[in-house]
Structures are given as C-alpha cells and as structure tokens.
C-alpha cells in the first residue's frame, strides 16, 4: 500500500480487527487504521499500534456522507473547496482517484 515497512500484525475476530505492533509515523499509523476500518464487513478497529518515529499531531477524520465529494469535504473542513487535493493527498494510497469515495468511508484531514 505504499506505507513504508510498518511492523504491524492484524488479528481478526468476527467484524473486529486488532492492530498490534509499531509504525514509523503517526501518518502511517492513521493510514493503517483507516485502510483496515474501510474494509467491507469491518465494524471496529482496535488500535494497539505504537509510533516509533517523531511525535506528530493526530489528524482529524470525517465520514463520507451520501452525495459528498472531495471539494465539498474540503469546503467544510478548510473553508475552501479548492483544497480537495489536500484531502486526496492525505488519504493516499487508499484513494486512487479523487472521484472514488463512497458513503461510510472514513477520510483523514490534516492541518
């Protein structure tokens, strides 16, 4: 997924994924959690990941609603629809194209 080389091991039980191990950055950790939580059939992700790199501020998250698109999310989050690329980049490699989002998906928002 282009997330470096995290030392994270998932454990699956019913509709819950537990992620244990180490990630090199806060961003890497958040993307691992999002990628796991956005899998169809997963209801919860138990985060037990330790960040080994420098401390960083955690991102904010937004759940995509019906009829949402990245410009609308950027307008709501940043007050500027033209910042949709910022939302897109914060969610790569999970997002392959700015138009490919779906209701219920959780996205990262960075400051």
Q: Is 106 helix (H, G, I), strand (E, B) or coil?
A: strand
Average pLDDT, the chain: 91
| Cβ-based burial of 29 (10 A; exposed 0-12, middle 13-18, buried ≥19) | buried
Model confidence band, residue 3 (pLDDT cutoffs 50, 70, 90): low
pLDDT in tens, 71-109: 999 999 999 999 999 999 999 888 989 999 999 999 999
Where do the structural domains in the chain lie, given as residue ranges? 7-51, 60-109
pTM to 2 decimal places: 0.81
| Residue of higher predicted confidence among 25 and 55 | 25
Q: DSSP states of 15-63 as a string?
A: TEEEEEEEESSHHHHHHHHHHHHTSTT--EEEEEEEE-S---PPPEEEE
| Residue of higher predicted confidence among 84 and 111 | 84
CATH architecture of 60-109: Roll (3.10)
| Residue of higher predicted confidence among 3 and 24 | 24
Quick one: which of 41, 31, 39 has its CA closest to 92? 31
Please state the φ and ψ torsions of residue 58, each to the nearest 5 degrees: -70, 145
Q: Is 87 helix (H, G, I), strand (E, B) or coil?
A: helix
């Amino acid at each position: 997924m282009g997330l470096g080389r995290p030392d994270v091991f998932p454990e699956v039980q019913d509709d819950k994924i537990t992620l244990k191990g180490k990630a090199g950055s806060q961003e890497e950790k958040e993307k691992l959690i999002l990628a796991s939580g956005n899998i169809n059939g997963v209801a919860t992700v138990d985060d037990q990941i330790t960040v080994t790199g420098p401390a960083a501020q955690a991102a904010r998250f937004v759940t995509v609603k019906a009829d949402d698109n990245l410009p609308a999310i950027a307008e709501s989050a940043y007050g500027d629809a033209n910042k949709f690329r910022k939302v897109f980049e914060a969610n790569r490699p999970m997002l392959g194209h700015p138009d490919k989002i779906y209701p219920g998906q959780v996205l990262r928002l960075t400051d």
